[in-house]
Chains A and B, each alone.
With several copies, the nearest count.
Chain A
Amino acid sequence: MSDSSSEKAQKPTHQEVELIIPMLQDMELTATQTACSIAQHMKFDEDRIDEVKMALIEAIINAFEHSQSPDKKVRIRFVLGEENLTVIIQDHGQGFALESIEKPEIGKKLHHEYKRGWGLMLIENLMDTVYIESNANGTTLVMSKNRK
C-alpha cells in the first residue's frame, strides 16, 4: 500500500491488440473485422466504426501494394484509449517520401491517365489525427479516431 500514490501517478497502461496479416488479396477485410469488434467493445457508434474501417483498408492496401516488404506482412496495432482508438499500421518495406505526394483533385483526375492517389487523403479526412513516418526501413502510419 505504501507505493499506491506512485502507482496512481503512473500513466495508465493502454490495452493493446496486435494483428499481423499476410499480404493476401482481401486480408484487409480480416483487419476491418477485428477493428470493428474492438471499436464496438469501446462503444463507438456505427458511423465512426465504418470510417475507421475505411481508413484502415486504405492504409493496409497501401502497404500491400507499395511497400515491397520482403516479409510480406503488415502489422496492425489497436491501442484502446479512454477517449479514442489509435490504429498503427506498419510495414517493413521500402518507404516513400511523404513530401513528394501531391494532394489529389477530382478536376485534375478527370481526363488524366492517372486516376489513383486518393488513399492518404481519405485517411486524413476520415480519421481525427494522422501521423506518418516512412524511411528505407518501412512505413508506420499512426491514426486515431475519437470516440465522439
Chain B
Amino acid sequence: MSESFNLTLEEHTDYAIIRTEGYVNNLGGEKIGEAADQLIEQGVRKLILNFEKSNVVNSIGISILIEVIEKIVDVDGQIAFCYLTKTIEKTFNIMGLTQYAEIYATEAEAVEKLA
C-alpha cells in the first residue's frame, strides 16, 4: 500500500548518477542510502543525485541523505543534486545541506561541474 519508489544508477569511471523516482521518505531514503554505500565502496567519490522524478520528500528521507553526505565528505568526495523543486531546494537551504552539497539546475550542468 506504499508509494512506489525506484532508482536507477549510471556509473562512470570517476562519478556516478543516482536517478530517483517517487517519494523520498524513510523507504526511499534507505534505498538511496544503500545505493550510495555500494557506490562509495566501489570507489566512487563524486555522486550526482537526480531528483527530476521525486517531487516530494520528508525530513526522515533527508536525514538519510545527510548520512550519504557525511560518507562522501569522509572520503573527500563531492556530492551534487539536480532538478530539485523550488521547495526541496529551499528545504535543503534551510537545513544547511548546501554547505556540503552542490545544487545544479540540470544533470548536464552537474556532470560538467563535478566531473
Contact = CB atoms under 8 A, between A and B. Distances in A.
Interface of A: 24-26, 28-29, 32, 41-43, 47, 50-51, 53-54, 57-58, 61, 104-107, 109-111, 115-116, 118-119, 121-122, 125-126
B86 interface: yes
Nearest to A49: B87
Contacts of A32: 56
Given A25-B2, A116-B59, A122 B94 contact: yes
Query: A-side binding surface: helix, strand, loop or mixed?
Result: helix
Contacts, number: 79
Given A24-B1, A25-B2, A61-B58, A47 B66 contact: no
B3 interface: yes
Interface in B1-19: 1-3
Contacts of A29: 3, 23, 56
B66 A119 contact: no
21 contacts: A24-B1, A25-B1, A28-B58, A29-B3, A29-B23, A29-B56, A41-B1, A42-B1, A50-B85, A51-B87, A53-B56, A53-B87, A61-B59, A105-B96, A106-B66, A106-B99, A107-B99, A118-B62, A119-B59, A122-B94, A125-B94
Nearest to A124: B94
A57 B60 CA distance: 11
Query: B-side binding surface: helix, strand, loop or mixed?
Result: helix
Interface residues of B, number: 29
Interface string B13-37: 0000000000101000000000000
Given A58-B58, A61-B58, A107 B63 contact: no
A122 B95 contact: yes
